[in-house]
Amino acid sequence: MIKGSLQATLRSASIIFGITAIFIEFTSYAVLKIGIVKDVFRSNGVVNPDHLRFQGYDWRNEKEEWGAWHIPNSTARHVRSCFDVNYKANNAGARDNVEYDSSLPKNSILLLGDSFAEGYGVSHGETLAEKLKEITGRKVLNFGTSNNFGPVQYYLVYQKLAKQYPHSSMVILFLPSNDFVDNDPSLIDLYKDRHRPYFRQTGSSKFEYFHPTNSVKRERFLSNANPYPQEDILRERIRYWLTYSNTVRLMRSVRIIKSNPAREGGWFRATPIQAKASMFYLSKLISEAKSSGVSDIVIFAIPSQADIDFKRKTNSDPNSQGWVKSLEQLSDTDRSLTFVSGFDLLPKDVSRQKSLFLKCDGHWSANGNKWSADIIAKYLNKPSQY
């Protein structure tokens, strides 16, 4: 009698649980579909479970002084609704198909920056580094990387790694959309125990960097490898289907929207401390490069699609920003440095502007990389003999 009563109770509880789960799933679908909460997954091209399986993390680590980097001689696949690309890191952990050593041409161009420099979402031949190589006829060393990479890290990856390889020119891609916030210590809680540097003010215009005491160095940042045996396809599919359920997507979208540091119109919204810190580390990077024999440096400020939309909506002046004036002044007083504002050189036609970016993502498309390479090449010195 007791056993039968217990079974009946369990059946009732299972039915209630099932109905509740279906209701929550349906409600989550409606909330995302109507747009009450932005579906961050779909808006970034993640439209099926396979896009969660191949997120391009398998080649990333986070153990060096500068934090985010690539595992040397590693590969990864990255799939979204508008691209399906394979990444490859060379012996130095840079995105390139050739090894880096002391035999590289002395007139090589060294590229620094975040995911735009790395070539996020495009094939190797469509990256800025390769387009710049085609135009200039010079080797381009790609030291850009994704995964929250800002000016403090540009300086550190150059000082600790990149400067050892032959080069005479440098290109720094500066992305105001998130470069001002990437190393801001107020975001430590957002990045939890990640091993990454943050700035700390030590004087009116002086800074130092530090790592959180709880940061964890990782040989592999995050593995998306299938945790199940090759033949257990069903369990693998169930895992990714559950991860892509409307309920999980809604919860994750809310969390991402709440914590996302990249604000709309980041070009126009740097705080005084963020701007000072960024200019401080860019200046240190420039000094370090010049002491290493670099004869010309180009800083290219990238307007994101969100920045372009913000300017159009608010009629804000991109060149009135204090950090822009600082870089313009630095460029005017240093003959080896050229600051280029991408806003000044955008195509006038809105459709052409949109073609610079991936359809499902805010990064440059192949068109965007070609556009920026054409501009940057004009400001680099003519190549010398190898």
Domain-by-domain residue ranges, the chain? 2-47+230-256, 61-220+260-379
Spatial CA neighbour of 131 closest among 376, 304, 302: 376
Highest mean pLDDT among 53-57, 261-265, 360-364, 380-384: 360-364
**Token pair for residue 82?**
């508008």
**Contacts with 79 (C-beta within 8 Å, 6 or more apart), sequence order:** 50, 51, 53, 54, 55
Mean pLDDT of 90-103: 97
Answer whether 0.85 is exceeded by the pTM: yes
Q: Output the pLDDT for position 215.
A: 94
pLDDT at 237 over 50: yes
Q: Output the pLDDT for position 8.
A: 72
Q: Output the pLDDT for position 223.
A: 47
Residues 120-163 have pLDDT tens digits of: 999 999 999 999 999 999 999 999 999 999 999 999 999 999 99
Q: Output the pLDDT for position 373.
A: 97
**Token pair for residue 4?**
């039968």
- Give residue 19's pLDDT band: very low, low, confident or very high (50, 70, 90): confident
Architecture of the domain spanning 61-220+260-379:
3-Layer(aba) Sandwich (3.40)
**Token pair for residue 324?**
């822009």
Type of residue numbered 55: Q
* E strand or H helix at 44: none
pLDDT at 16 over 80: no
Q: Which residue has the tokens 């993502």?
A: 361
Q: Output the pLDDT for position 15.
A: 76
Spatial CA neighbour of 209 closest among 113, 285, 306, 316: 285
